Amino acid sequence: MVPMERNQRDLFDTEPAPWELDDQSEARVARVVFPEGVDGEFDYFVPESLTEDVQPGKRLRVPLGRGNRTVVCYCINVHLQVVTRQLKPVTSVLDKRVLLSPHMLKLTAWMSSYYLARWGRVLEAVVPAGVREGSGTREKVFLQVSGEVIAQLPELKLPQKQAAALTVLAASEKALTVDELAEQTKCTIGPINALRKKGLVTESRRRVHVLQPDELVREESQDLTLNDRQRDSLRAIDEAIERQRHDTFLLHGVTGSGKTEVYIKAIEKVITAGRQAIVLVPEISLTPQTQRRFKSRFEHVAVLHSHLTDADRNWHWKNIADGNVQVIVGARSAVFAPTQHLGLIVIDEEHDGSFKQSIEPRYHARLIAQKRAELERVPLVLGSATPSLESWHQAQTGAFTLLSMPDRVSELPLPKVDTIDMREEFQNRFHRGSISRHLADAMKKALQAGGQVILLLNRRGFSTHIQCPACGEVVKCAECDIALTHHREGEKVVCHYCDYESAAPQKCPHCKFENIRYGGLGTQRLEAEVRQKFPNHTCLRMDSDTMKRPGSHESAFSRFRTGEVKILLGTQMIAKGLDFPNVTLVGVINADTGLHLPDFRAGERAFQLITQVAGRTGRSEKGGRVLVQSFDPDHPSIAAARHHDYLQFANHELPNRKSFAYPPFGCMARIVVRGSSEQLAEGTASAIAQHIQNRVAKDFEANPRPDLPPHSVRVLGPAPAPIAKLRGLYRFHMLLQCPELDLIRPAVLSAREEIKLVEDVQWIVDIDPIEML
């Protein structure tokens, strides 16, 4: 960070200010950070007229630069200090209420340091745009009667309606708007305006919400009886809640083991103590079914998701900050909910990759929740049937407390999982399509018995690539180094990364050969095959192409729940958090999707996805079965998923991670350089890598670490990224591996300050990266 002295000199007036501060005088100073433009922390003088209003956690307007242009900043500290030079004064205060509590300021300062992100940008990400802009609010005038006027009421000679309005307002426990006072007095606004002109009422202005967001109807449900394993887990969590002690619990329970009921019971204890709880779930799992489950058990629940309007988000934010909400259920950003009395944080499906943000600040909600829980001394519960290996390792080393629930509720067995070797299927000359004969037979039996079927294919579209058999050319996006996907609806080809689309080609764009080949398998093609093979059973496809309209998820799940739809197929959005007792068969169409990507977490993701979707069946006395189609059925991840055996998977994968110092046995950062010129982007990437290597070597030389040799920090690359071109920009990346992030932070910050970028070349650093493409 740029030193305070150097920052502040740029903000001084070169000409004497209208007011003077005596040398060595003490003044009230606001320290601020900016969301855009200059980096670092800056000091401003707080005029006496703003002394009461300027507070940490509010936004201010201040003059910046030699031109004194007015800009918005965040106040992070207010203090008295001896000032020996002229400081520019704060111009105005934007917010009536504090947006960021002292705990949240500490948390965001830590985030800024850990993720190498500007503090101002972190604050801008924490406070939603709807809150900053006051969306869904309108400024209104509020009236009150002063104590002096109340004392004179018996002696005032006023017309009847004015006297009645003044009496009602004086008796009110809160300030009233003009309309509210008129309604309570049963008069027009004329008498009220007359009181205003006479100075008998005091006026204040503030913004109020105009509309409240639509809410799901609350349907109360009965408490469920916990089994022994659930009670043991709840007992450990309750003890931490009672003692107001920070502990992180890893609740490892198989699908259907009743983890959600443990969360709910723990939250009940928190609410009884007058505190609030935050529950994070993956966006994809934030279904109406999930929302109803919490709303059926708690009276005041706020659900935060990406489809909220800015006005709705602002309304929820204020309600939470006012203490009117008991439980906040939401996706990643709900970890920043402005609770005043936090008592518990829960993260369900804690392994899910969507908890990592892909734009600055590139935080992981699990780590932020852990830090927030630590600062506010509350328990954190991480729940999953397939925990991330990072969390599992923490539990094995004693940093987290492991709570195990290895059995399903009501002693229901886990479904039997079998694999289908697609190599054998493709050698059979009678094989046609993506559904094997074995899976098709199982679907027929399940449907004839009155059951329902779920089919998972984590690829949308009709054909996933288009290739010319004459010249071998693959039709790619004009802006990205990515094969275009064919969509039957509209007969178009689409890039799933930049949304480029054009008409589907009838002949090869390169050699003009007319018999161009549409290959690969997407959910649209699977849907067509299902409808052709099972014409008498209603089929429904769920992917991001079909679920665009508001309420489409709820409508789809409702049709499946009632039995109108017999076959539900789709991408990973159907793999998690759904509880449909009538599902007796789950089919994984291609378990190899993503299994062999250039990503050390590929096997872990495959195991998690197969295990999670397998958990959608066998949730009633009808039982269930899972069939997994694969060209590599003996792969360790698939083999472990076949036995529902997390320990088998972890015991195989962790030694591999350790041998390469991959997380959780080391730290990692990824740097991505992009630009319209391939040569300039590559040259910048090489300069950054060389600078970091030189700075790390210099730091080791200046401060030797007997326990860590210099080569413990590795810079791998730069090299073209797996997706070498995206949205018209060439991409190069490098990986930084080290035992501790503090070993590379100074080098990365130094590179950011000292390496001058040319033309449109940009680079980003991602701490603890999840995405490697």
Q: What six digits make up the tokens of 579? A: 């509880």
Going by C-alpha positions, the residue among 385, 423, 435, 328 that lies closest to residue 612 is 385
Those residues with Cβ within 8 angstroms of residue 6's Cβ, 6 or more apart along the chain or in another chain: none
pLDDT of residue 295: 87
291 vs 153, 215, 298, 619, CA distance in Å? Answer: 52, 10, 11, 20
**Tens digit of pLDDT for each residue in 423-478?**
888 777 666 778 999 999 999 999 999 999 999 998 866 666 677 777 777 888 87
pLDDT of residue 577: 66
Which residues are paired to 176 by β-bridges?
Answer: 143
Cis peptide before 722 (omega within 30 of 0): no
Q: What six digits make up the tokens of 388? A: 């991330």
d(CA 651, CA 252): 16
Going by C-alpha positions, the residue among 175, 141, 143 that lies closest to residue 162 is 143
pLDDT classification of 519: cutoffs 50, 70, 90: low
Give the lowest-confidence range in 155-169, 225-239, 670-684, 733-747: 155-169
Which residues are paired to 91 by β-bridges?
Answer: none
> Under a CB-based contact definition with an 8 Å cutoff, are residues 498 and 518 in contact?
no
End-to-end C-alpha distance for the chain, whole angstroms:
30
Give the lowest-confidence range in 171-185, 367-381, 507-521, 650-664: 507-521
Those residues with Cβ within 8 angstroms of residue 28's Cβ, 6 or more apart along the chain or in another chain: 45, 46, 51, 54, 78, 79, 80
> Under a CB-based contact definition with an 8 Å cutoff, are residues 383 and 346 in contact?
yes
Enter the DSSP assignment of 356. B
What's the average model confidence in pLDDT over 166-195? Answer: 89
User: What is the full DSSP assignment across 116-147?
Assistant: T--HHHHHHHHS-HHHHTTTTEEEEEEEE--H
pLDDT classification of 287: cutoffs 50, 70, 90: low
d(CA 692, CA 694): 5
pTM: 0.86
> Under a CB-based contact definition with an 8 Å cutoff, are residues 730 and 674 in contact?
yes
**Tens digit of pLDDT for each residue in 289-305?**
777 888 888 989 998 87
74 vs 71, 119, 694, 709, CA distance in Å? Answer: 10, 9, 36, 41
d(CA 761, CA 481): 18
pLDDT classification of 216: cutoffs 50, 70, 90: low
**Tens digit of pLDDT for each residue in 389-407?**
999 999 999 999 999 999 9
Element (H, E) at 719: strand 714-726
Going by C-alpha positions, the residue among 314, 313, 276, 305 that lies closest to residue 97 is 314
- Residue 30 corresponds to which amino acid? A
166 vs 181, 203, 390, CA distance in Å? Answer: 9, 13, 65
Q: Specify the pairing of strand 452-456 against strand 583-588.
A: parallel
Q: What six digits make up the tokens of 584? A: 């007796």
Sign of CA dihedral 503, 508, 512, 516: negative
Across 549-580, b (16+ Cβ under 10 Å) vs e yields: eeeebeebbeebbeeebbbbbbbbbbbbbbbb
Across 482-498, b (16+ Cβ under 10 Å) vs e yields: bbbbbbbeeeebbbbee
